[in-house]
Structure 1
């Protein structure tokens, strides 16, 4: 630590030897605290993170560590993976839905006041709703409420037959 705590003592305590020993002890503890804070600060950023923190990021992103890889290479690989995850926007969601279902295969409505997104998939493709759930799981933030369903209209070929008959009912009172 740069600051000598003994210099911070008031004049009337500087002559007491006990305070000199206390300040030496406190200086050691404060230096440990400062080193721990520096370590935490460095681990907040991928570019300065240590091996333990980089391994946490690697597990999170599914990156496999191979023996002999340098820490700088591992940091660069984590940064590359981190930067490929696109932040969520409605435009990004629309483009992904258009890729999966075409422009006419879904309807999307957004209510920003309640943080609600309503998605209706109109595709009749088998498993279309599963694709939607996978997409939602991957890109939507947790605070957004999602209402989703699949609306499919099936057209079946066939003939309609109609017939009629006449029926009468007679009510008699005796």
Structure 2
């Protein structure tokens, strides 16, 4: 959006050389200001953070980003930290995991007799595994044993493939790939 400041000057003064020169020089400054205001507004919302916004939120929340983190992963980690609320219920934990990993991106099993909470993260949410593990570690009550792992492909998932089809993949690929 290019600024056109001359249009704000009264019509009788629009042809004056000084007003033309002033508005021509100020147009780029107003454009830069408009862009900066848009970025500042976007940095108020976690889903729209740029690098500067992420670094500000990470400083406030004491999050140390990894050198290999993408902007999306940094946004995710910030969102996970902001969404923390104690105490939690089993249902709210399921909702939080659904928000972070997707509706089918996790499985959760609570063994009440042994005080074990088993959480498995789907391969599709593998890049967010460490952020989910940190979140669960912070919000899970200390009397529970927390077991977090990736939800690997099972025989039922790959049982429809023939041996020849599967021979094109390594064992690790068959076990860990989202889409074979």
TM-score with structure 2 setting the length: 0.43
TM-score, normalised relative to structure 1: 0.44
Q: Comparing both structures, which one devotes a greater share of its residues to helix?
A: 2
